[in-house]
Amino acid sequence: MKKILRVLAATAVLASASFAADYTIKMSHVVSAATPKGQAADFFAKRVGELTGGKVEVAVFPNAQLYNDNAVMKALKIGNVHIAVPSFSKFTSLVPAMQLFDLPFLFRDRAHLHAVLDSEVGQILKDQVTAKGFVALDYWDAGFKHFSSSKKPVINPEDAAGQKFRIMSSKVLEAQMKAVNGSVQVLPFSEVYSALQQGVVDGAENPLSNFATKKFNEVQSSLTLSEHGYLGYLVIMSEKFWSKFPDEYKGKVLQAMKEATAFERNLAAEEDAKLLAQMQEYAKSTGKMKIYTLTPEQKAAWAKIMEGIYPQFYETIGEDLIKKAQAVK
């Protein structure tokens, strides 16, 4: 019944959108409208309407109302949905070079990250995705990942030795933990809390958004603000839809997307700051968790070890691409 109601609601939205506009763009994503990604999608819809004088309307469907991230790729191919915002992990089998973003300590800070995304490196990856039958538009932030543990704070590289970490399925992340003599367990995200609680794994790596909203602070005694890896999204469009979309509105849609990208990145940074403040207050008031920040020297020690795994992925990702990313100022 709930599924039927969602379909009816979606149909009603599309019907009203079609009545008001000459063209409707269906945009699907899997998170709440209240998240930075969700708010940016709504911002994009608003700006498209404003820039086109109401001639083009974007109908946004959050919370996987239309498709989850696995099904949406096929839906884009056949034009059943027009824009989606999958996480990078959904692209690595399609474009192996997207594993670039899994490389630990590749990005010096948020400014360097965004410089890479907006550089030739980011464009090369978008071109590779586009070559697979999509139109790659822009990169949106999820956030930097941080180490946490219930066994021993992960501050120096040697602290990871002997600990078991939950990771996503990724050869890069396996190599990352092996480099510091840690072991790994690949688990679905839905099982991470119970695995930490029961001691199946000692620690994990997550952006603050995952760590706080899933209450991992309840089952971890330490959080290290390591910023060692990055999670993000790539906004993609249906090539079938875009090829038939009127040229007179394409530039305005792209302008709206550029503005939405800046909006989303700012929101994601603000959200990170708020969540960190919440975790700091939790740590202070309960004494159940300690938060650590890596010094420049500690970060350099991690980076030196982690760079040692990069050559393992020169063939998969591309040595030139990795070195271009490192060289971006």
State the CATH number of the domain containing residue 81.
3.40.190.170
Are residues 214 and 165 part of one domain? yes
Are residues 193 and 286 part of one domain? yes
Are residues 34 and 80 part of one domain? yes
152, burial (CB in 10 Å: exposed 0-12, middle 13-18, buried 19+): middle
pLDDT band at 251 (very low <50, low <70, confident <90, very high): very high
What global pTM score does this model have? 0.87
Please report the sign of the dihedral spanned by the C-alpha atoms of residue 287, residue 180, residue 110, residue 83: negative
Q: Give the Cα separation of 163 and 188 in Å (integer).
A: 19
* 101-122 tens-digit pLDDT: 999 999 999 999 999 999 999 9
78, part of any domain: yes
Are residues 285 and 201 part of one domain? yes
* 283-299 tens-digit pLDDT: 999 999 999 999 999 99
243, part of any domain: yes
Are residues 293 and 236 part of one domain? no
What pLDDT, on a 0 to 100 scale, did the predictor assign at position 5? 46
Range of the domain at 82: 2-91+132-141+232-272
Tokens of 254: 């792209």
How far is Cα of residue 103 from the mean position of the Cα atoms in its chain? 14
Are residues 55 and 161 part of one domain? no
* 156-185 tens-digit pLDDT: 999 999 999 999 989 999 999 999 999 999
Percent helix, percent strand, percent coil in the chain, to nearest 5: 55, 20, 25
How far is Cα of residue 304 from the mean position of the Cα atoms in its chain? 25
110, part of any domain: no
Are residues 303 and 246 part of one domain? no
What total number of domains does the chain contain? 2
